[in-house]
Chains A and B, each alone.
Chain A
Amino acid sequence: MNSPFDTTLLKLLDIDESSPLASAISGRTNLFELTEASYMAAIFPDDPGILSHSQRAALATRICLINDESLLADHYKDLVSEPEDSVLYAQNSTSEDNVMATIVDHVDTNSRNPKHHPEDQIQKLKAIGLTDTQIVSIFAVIAFVSYQLRVLKGLRAMKEAL
């Protein structure tokens, strides 16, 4: 990557070298590169494990919708390659697959209210047979997208104000 302006968030927000924010962003080039690398690792890992790339994108869409972030939600929606995965971000719709329904419930809770009975949440995930590695990988997606959407919202507010 040659420039922070080639990263997903800045391209989505249409922020380039001519922006009043360019100087501040260029001073943190390495952090935008690491944000992009984290994005690839969370959504498109070499070893997807329990969640396919398409399911990860669908759950990321869900987290963005929970947080009223439609621009990033649309980006993720476009990355959902399997049509059946759209149920994972549909409101008031739950997967008929018990494992995925439990994961979706956990995504809702941890992204909205992370302090809500965390030990019970872990027990529910263990009760459907998930391993520790699978549980941590689900957290990795939720936590990363929770970060990413807030960087985007912060940059958008800066772009509008400065």
Chain B
Amino acid sequence: MSSKIKSFTTTVPFWNPFVTPIELQKASELQLEALQTTPSNTQVGEYVLVLAHDPETLKHRTPLFNGIMYSRGGLSRAETELSAVATSVTNECIYCTAVHASRYNDLTKTTQDMATIFSEPDSSSLEERKHSIYDFSHKLSLSPPEICSDDVTKLTQQGLESDEILDVVLSSAIFAWANRLMLGLGEPLESRPQLS
């Protein structure tokens, strides 16, 4: 039996759904259309097959997610991942944190920042610019969110332009969405459970 992962990691777990994914062979025309694009252009896995139960939202959600995470210009790819991690850590979504922490490490060629985030509740040891992005994303993720104009000013003081700040908002917000699906509809396991 595969164990549930209970602490933050950069090793991507298996996401085990609580509801039954649709069967691709039995998918409707609308479901197949919604599955044409996958998050991060990965294979069609359990997650998107679960979301395909609601193809009308999935059809727009996937290109929106990919557009926020991978559009050119604005915030760097690594800082976009940092905002995603800050939100996922705040929501305690172990699966999303693992995926995006590992991508951050790949992009930055360092593991130190993620080690700091996993070990310090406020991540105050991060470099100032990184910490300002982390803190803004964390505050926006709370329920209710706790950001105000002062938090935007802190980003501008660290040299972020308005297009970069908009990207921080979008990256954090899309993980408010993603975390609620990942946390609510399944759980992170060490590996795919063996069929009994």
Rounded to whole Å, the gap between the CB of B187 and the closest CB of chain A is 7
Rounded to whole Å, the gap between the CB of B96 and the closest CB of chain A is 11
Number of A-B pairs whose CB atoms are under 8 Å? 174
Q: Which residues of B contact A115 (CB under 8 A)?
A: 91-93, 183
A34 and B67 contact, CB distance less than 8 A? yes
Q: Which of B68, B168, B173, B187 contacts A119 (CB 8 A)?
A: B187
B85 on the interface (CB 8 Å rule)?
Answer: no
| Residues 142-182 of chain B, each 1 if its beta carbon lies under 8 Å from chain A, else 0 | 01110111111100100001110111111011101111110
A122 and B60 contact, CB distance less than 8 A? no
Q: Which of B59, B143, B150, B163 contacts A23 (CB 8 A)?
A: B163
B185 and A139 contact, CB distance less than 8 A? yes
B180 and A139 contact, CB distance less than 8 A? yes
B-binding segment of A83-91, A96-104, A143-151: A143-151
B140 and A150 contact, CB distance less than 8 A? yes
Q: Which of B53, B143, B174, B187 contacts A67 (CB 8 A)?
A: B143
B149 and A154 contact, CB distance less than 8 A? no
A75 on the interface (CB 8 Å rule)?
Answer: no
By beta carbon, the residue of chain A nearest B168 is A154
A27-B73, A31-B68, A150-B140 given as contacts; is B20 within 8 A of A121 (CB)?
no
Number of interface residues of B (CB under 8 A): 57
Number of interface residues of A (CB under 8 A): 56
B179 and A147 contact, CB distance less than 8 A? no
A21 on the interface (CB 8 Å rule)?
Answer: yes
B140 and A153 contact, CB distance less than 8 A? yes
A127 on the interface (CB 8 Å rule)?
Answer: no
Give the complex CA separation of A149 and B145 in angstroms.
9
Give the complex CA separation of A155 and B140 in angstroms.
11
B166 and A47 contact, CB distance less than 8 A? no
A71 on the interface (CB 8 Å rule)?
Answer: no
Q: Which residues of A contact B145 (CB under 8 A)?
A: 67-68, 149-150, 153
A38 and B57 contact, CB distance less than 8 A? yes
Rounded to whole Å, the gap between the CB of B71 and the closest CB of chain A is 7
Give the complex CA separation of A147 and B57 in angstroms.
13
B74 on the interface (CB 8 Å rule)?
Answer: yes
Give the complex CA separation of A147 and B93 in angstroms.
16
Q: List 21 A-B contacts (CB under 8 A).
A: A20-B162, A21-B166, A24-B166, A27-B163, A30-B67, A31-B71, A38-B64, A41-B60, A42-B57, A111-B143, A118-B187, A135-B19, A136-B51, A139-B54, A139-B184, A146-B176, A147-B177, A154-B169, A154-B170, A160-B148, A161-B156
B: residues with CB less than 8 A from A are: 18-20, 50-51, 53-54, 56-57, 59-61, 63-64, 67-68, 71, 73-74, 91-93, 140-141, 143-145, 147-153, 156, 161-163, 165-170, 172-174, 176-181, 183-185, 187
